[in-house]
Amino acid sequence: MNLLEIEAQKSAIMPPTRAPPNYSDFVCVDDFEQFALKVLPVNAKDYYKSGACAQETLRNNKEAFRRLRIRPRVMRDLSKRTLVTDALGHPVQIPIGVSPAAMQKLAHEEGEIGNAAAVGEVGGIYILSTISTTSIEELAEKTPQTTKWFQLYIYRDREITKSLVQRAEKAGYKALVLTVDTNVFGTRYADIRNKFNMPSHLKLANFSGKLSQLSNTSDSSSLLAYITSQLDETINWSDVTWLKTITKLPIVLKGILTAEDAKIGVEMGASAIMVSNHGGRQLDYVPASIEALPEIAKAVGHKVDVYLDGGVRYGTDVFKALALGAKMVFVGRPALWGLAHSGKSGVRKVLDILINEFDQALALSGCTSVGEIQREMVVHETYYSKL
């Protein structure tokens, strides 16, 4: 490999040097996304932004929100408002958290620490990915004020999983978020084309030895090779039962899209359900998360918390999700776009935008608190064509 080829390879995986933060032209989440897609190396950009196969679910996660209409109420005293909600029985200052996303130092050197610190400043909840570039313990030490949950994959070697659970408990994480839709890894064409891999200076920080590295492959994504070799296709509902025997932490099941599975999850002892299609990155042509939410909220929302992940880009999206039965929403890519701009301060700016938009949507809909948002305040666009 000659010098030019080496430099080209480095530019494909290494985040470029960025200018100091400038937010004068950044007024919405889309502005941060457009910036991030311009500056991120191809390897990281395509990994973060892409979905499975034709990416129909990825697109629909956002489009489904746009098909919903808000029915506002007027002439109400809006002078005193609060955004406080509760999750797993504990108060949370805002109904917005950050979803687990792998390898965040691909976006910025501050990585998971910068992301989690910003979430702590606004009083949300941060979920750390198993496949993170910051360890469970380091994140706990560096972001003590942030409420943290730990996202969990079940490995073929259950002792690895058990160790992760014990470490999260010891470090003060408040819940486990078990991803239930990844027995088999979704097909992501961009990662295969790019032969996705991490830069050599980054590691999967929750592991040591071979488990801390993505295997190099000549013809495919190294992440695909890692997942295929380490995660277990035999995972089933009995693993939730097993998990409950090794932890006292509440278990949130992430990746459920049907009322049937939500009911089973609750019967197995889950404390909450996160309606999610993995950011459109697993099975293509499944429902958008917001489309699946109402049936799940109706089926189990009176028993456990229901959360939503996927497609949230505006404060009005937060309002719509809460009206349709979610206690909180979690965002993944928007936080990464902020991180790519300027680390913690970029994430904080993205969260501030969403919070301010949600507060405005709350008020302009005639509500002064999360508890006043009613189901009938959000309808599908076809509602008006039937009148």
50 assigned binding-site residue: no
Q: Give the DSSP letter of residue 125.
A: E
102 assigned binding-site residue: yes
Return phi, psi of residue 152, to 5°: -125, 130
CA separation for the pair 263, 242 (Å, rounded): 18
315 assigned binding-site residue: no
Return phi, psi of residue 296, to 5°: -75, -40
59 assigned binding-site residue: no
CA separation for the pair 368, 357 (Å, rounded): 14
333 assigned binding-site residue: yes
CA separation for the pair 246, 281 (Å, rounded): 30
311 assigned binding-site residue: yes
CA separation for the pair 235, 138 (Å, rounded): 29
CA separation for the pair 80, 322 (Å, rounded): 20
CA separation for the pair 140, 7 (Å, rounded): 36
281 assigned binding-site residue: yes
Question: Of 106, 132, 29, which Cα lies nearest the Cα of 116?
Answer: 132
302 assigned binding-site residue: no
Dihedral sign computed on CA atoms, order 109, 115, 120, 126: negative
151 assigned binding-site residue: yes
Q: Give the DSSP letter of residue 20.
A: P
100 assigned binding-site residue: yes
CA separation for the pair 83, 86 (Å, rounded): 10
Q: What are the residues facing 265 on neighbouring strands?
A: none
Contact status, residue 12 vs residue 199, Cβ threshold 8 Å: no
Question: Of 108, 92, 104, 109, which Cα lies nearest the Cα of 130?
Answer: 104
Q: Is 201 a catalytic residue?
A: no
* Residue 53: alpha-carbon gap to chain centroid: 20
129 assigned binding-site residue: yes
365 assigned binding-site residue: no
**DSSP reduced 3-state for 156:** coil
332 assigned binding-site residue: yes
CA separation for the pair 337, 18 (Å, rounded): 13
Q: Which region holds residue 280: left if phi is over 0, alpha if psi is between -120 and 50, else beta? A: left
188 assigned binding-site residue: yes
Q: Out of 90, 108, 201, 278, which one is annotated catalytic?
A: 278
Give the N- to C-terminal CA distance of the chain in Å, as an integer: 67
69 assigned binding-site residue: no
Q: What are the residues facing 176 on neighbouring strands?
A: 150, 251
How many residues in the chain? 387
239 assigned binding-site residue: no
179 assigned binding-site residue: yes
List the binding residues for FMN: 100-102, 129, 151, 179, 254, 276, 309-313, 332-333
List the binding residues: 47, 100-102, 129, 151, 153, 179, 188, 254, 276, 278, 281, 309-313, 332-333
List the binding residues for glyoxylate: 47, 153, 188, 278, 281
Catalytic residues: 278
